[in-house]
């Protein structure tokens, strides 16, 4: 099984908030990341959080980290159709060998 | 500042051939990592180069190799191609260890 787990699909209405969840297994993870991938494109770094932080906010994005439960979430406020994409959660420990989840496909309906 | 550039964007090869993919990192970045993305296996780490040395390697067969040049540009080579090597190959650069990775748009390899 994968070390990083995410649900595969999420569908929301335009203007609503989206919450994408992720669990990871390595308590030694130092950085946790959220990447966005649109069709035919590479991965775009959205945001990241250090393992000693609980929360990070960046405009419409809010990342919450619960180290005890090894749970990471990404909240997108006022979701727009342009937010439709696949969102990957990733962890890294001490190297650039990052472990990715399978990705959550977010569909935003008008 | 230019992003990570990968060439070519698309490649079609036949089984048994070999292929070389190229990656130019963000200026000033010395670390280049390679990932394979497939629908079945997701994103898997291939290897990482830093200052022309392979620093870390994933669980791929020896047919997959790479190198990094003094200007930090990197190439990845796959020999004796198999159908299962069809994938999107992504390159990422960073300024150092355990720093944010910035990805290129990838090279889509199709093996027929």
Q: Which residue of A has its CA nearest to B103?
A: A43
Contact A96 B97 (CB under 8 A): yes
Residues in chain A: 110
What are the pLDDT digits (tens) for A12-41?
A: 999 999 999 999 887 777 789 999 999 888
Within 48-107 of B, beta carbons closer than 8 Å to A belong to 48, 55-56, 58, 90, 92, 94, 97-106
Q: Quick check: helix, strand or coil at residue B45?
A: strand
Residues of chain A found within 8 Å of residue B48, distances taken between Cβ atoms: 95-97
**Which of A78, A55, A89, A73 lies closest to A19, judged by CA?**
A73
Full pLDDT tens readout for chain B, 112 residues: 679 999 999 999 999 999 999 999 999 999 999 999 998 889 999 999 999 999 989 999 999 999 999 999 999 999 999 999 999 999 999 987 667 889 999 999 999 9
What are the pLDDT digits (tens) for A52-80?
A: 889 999 999 999 999 999 999 999 999 99
Q: Which residue of A has its CA nearest to B30?
A: A96
- CA A79 to CA A108: how far, in whole Å? 7
- CA B106 to CA B21: how far, in whole Å? 10
Q: Would you say B76 and B23 are in contact if contact means Cβ atoms under 8 Å apart?
A: yes
- CA B95 to CA B100: how far, in whole Å? 8
Tokens at B82, concatenated? 């198999």
Q: What is the DSSP string of B64-99?
A: EEEEE-TTS-EEEEE-S--GGG-EEEEEEEESSTT-
């Amino acid at each position: 099984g994968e070390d990083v787990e995410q649900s595969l699909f999420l569908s929301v209405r335009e203007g609503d908030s989206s919450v994408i969840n992720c669990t990871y297994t390595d308590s030694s993870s130092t950085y946790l990341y959220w990447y966005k991938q649109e069709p035919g494109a590479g991965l775009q770094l959205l945001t990241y959080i250090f393992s000693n932080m609980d929360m990070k906010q960046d405009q419409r994005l809010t990342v919450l980290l619960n180290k005890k439960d090894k749970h990471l979430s990404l909240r997108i406020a006022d979701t727009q159709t342009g937010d439709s994409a696949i969102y990957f959660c990733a962890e890294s420990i001490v190297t650039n060998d990052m472990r990715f989840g399978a990705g959550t496909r977010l569909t935003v309906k008008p | 500042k230019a992003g990570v550039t990968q060439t070519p964007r698309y490649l079609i090869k036949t089984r048994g051939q070999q292929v070389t993919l190229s990656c130019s990192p963000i200026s000033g970045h010395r670390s280049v990592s390679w990932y394979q993305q497939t629908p079945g296996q997701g994103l898997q780490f291939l290897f990482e180069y830093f200052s022309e040395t392979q620093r870390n390697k994933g669980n791929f067969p020896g047919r997959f190799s790479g190198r990094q040049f003094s200007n930090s540009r990197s190439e990845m080579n796959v020999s004796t191609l198999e159908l299962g090597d069809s994938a999107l190959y992504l390159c990422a650069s960073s300024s150092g260890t355990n720093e944010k990775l910035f990805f290129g748009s990838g090279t889509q390899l199709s093996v027929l």
